[in-house]
């Protein structure tokens, strides 16, 4: 006589608890596991929307599901399928996929709040902000959505970040153009944007002043008595390699008084 196939049933909440064991940002699942053949199944409980309220901010909604879980989200982070408020009215039954979209929008809102805290402290680049958010534990897909949204709102702008960074760097450091460009690239600024902003920041007079400070700092000015003798080719090569223009090098050489 064959043994009966026993099944273990578990009702599990996947999410977080808030205050007095109040459910927040999560969902219920049924888990069924066979005791004899190791089969396992996962079932979502049918879910309906109990209430939708306006949250604390523009475009913010607070939604309550029939299992008691609560989500705060922004409609801008929902799928295009949720094109208006009629798509999530009280009493509407939602599918597991729709529930996942609400969870995604809620996670995006949490990432956005963290992003605003970082932006309030200092100007951020897209790459730098994204790296900080992911390091803080926010999902990569949410971080990408938030970064795209903040770019649309002009809260994130890589060129503006680059201009601020260069202004600060030029005021307190004596870096060559090559090192400044590398610094921008290392902060996630695209090559074209970095080169364009650097060119805007270093006009002829600014580049000449930077070259003079750079050569003074590194003691590169030749010591000579005959001012008609040109600078060594090795010095010219070094300065051009560091990103200084040939015209600026020539001008400084001509105007240097020994």
pLDDT over 90 (residue 104): yes
Q: What residues form DSSP beta bridges with 48?
A: 93
Residue with structure tokens 């008595």? 225
Which pLDDT belongs to residue 241? 96
Sign of CA dihedral 85, 86, 90, 92: negative
Cα radius of gyration rounded to whole Å, the chain? 30
Q: How many CA atoms lie within 13 A of 8 on its CB side?
A: 10
What percent of the chain clears pLDDT 90, i.e. is strictly above it?
52
Give the mean model confidence (pLDDT) for residues 215-220: 92
What is the per-residue pLDDT for 38?
53
Domains annotated for the chain, with CATH where assigned, are 7-152 (1.10.10.10), 158-255 (no CATH)
Taking 70 as the threshold, does the pLDDT of residue 194 lie above it?
yes
How many other C-beta atoms are found inside a 10 Å radius of the C-beta of residue 145?
19
Least confident of 21-25, 48-52, 144-148: 21-25
Residue of 61 and 127 predicted with greater confidence: 127
Q: Helices (DSSP H) in 136-203: which residue ranges? A: 140-152, 158-172, 177-186, 191-201
User: How far apart (Å, rounded) are the C-alpha atoms in residues 98 and 49?
Assistant: 11
DSSP 5-43: --EEEEEEEEEEEETTTEEEEEEEEEEEEETTT--EEEE
Could you give the CA distance from residue 243 to residue 177 in angstroms, rounded to a whole number?
A: 5
pTM over 0.85: no
Query: What confidence category does residue 195 fall into, taking pLDDT thresholds of 50, 70 and 90?
Result: very high
Residue whose structure tokens are 């960074």 = 165
Q: Could you tell me the sign of the dihedral formed by the alpha carbons of 116, 118, 122, 125, in that order?
A: negative
């Amino acid at each position: 006589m064959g043994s009966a196939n026993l099944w273990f049933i578990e009702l599990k909440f996947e999410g977080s608890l808030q205050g007095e064991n109040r459910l927040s940002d999560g969902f219920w699942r049924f888990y069924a596991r066979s005791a004899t053949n190791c089969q396992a199944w996962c079932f979502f409980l049918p879910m309906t929307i109990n209430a939708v309220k306006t949250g604390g901010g523009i475009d913010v909604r607070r939604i309550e599901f029939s299992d008691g879980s609560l989500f705060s989200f922004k409609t801008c982070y929902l799928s295009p399928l949720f094109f208006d408020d009629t798509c999530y009215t009280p009493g509407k039954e939602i599918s597991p996929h729709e529930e996942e979209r609400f969870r995604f929008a809620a996670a995006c809102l949490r990432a956005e709040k963290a992003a605003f805290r970082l932006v309030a402290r200092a100007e951020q680049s897209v790459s730098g902000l994204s790296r900080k958010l992911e390091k803080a534990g926010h999902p990569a897909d949410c971080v990408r959505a938030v970064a795209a949204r903040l770019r649309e709102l002009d809260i994130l702008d890589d060129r503006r970040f680059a201009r601020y960074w260069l202004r600060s760097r030029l005021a307190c450091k004596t870096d060559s153009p090559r090192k400044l460009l590398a610094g921008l690239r290392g902060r996630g600024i695209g090559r074209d944007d970095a080169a364009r902003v650097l060119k805007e920041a270093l006009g002829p007079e600014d580049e000449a002043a930077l070259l003079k400070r750079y050569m003074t700092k590194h003691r590169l000015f030749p010591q000579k008595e005959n001012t008609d003798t040109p600078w060594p080719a090795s010095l010219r090569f070094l300065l051009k390699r560091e990103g200084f223009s040939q015209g600026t090098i020539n001008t400084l050489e001509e105007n240097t008084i020994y």
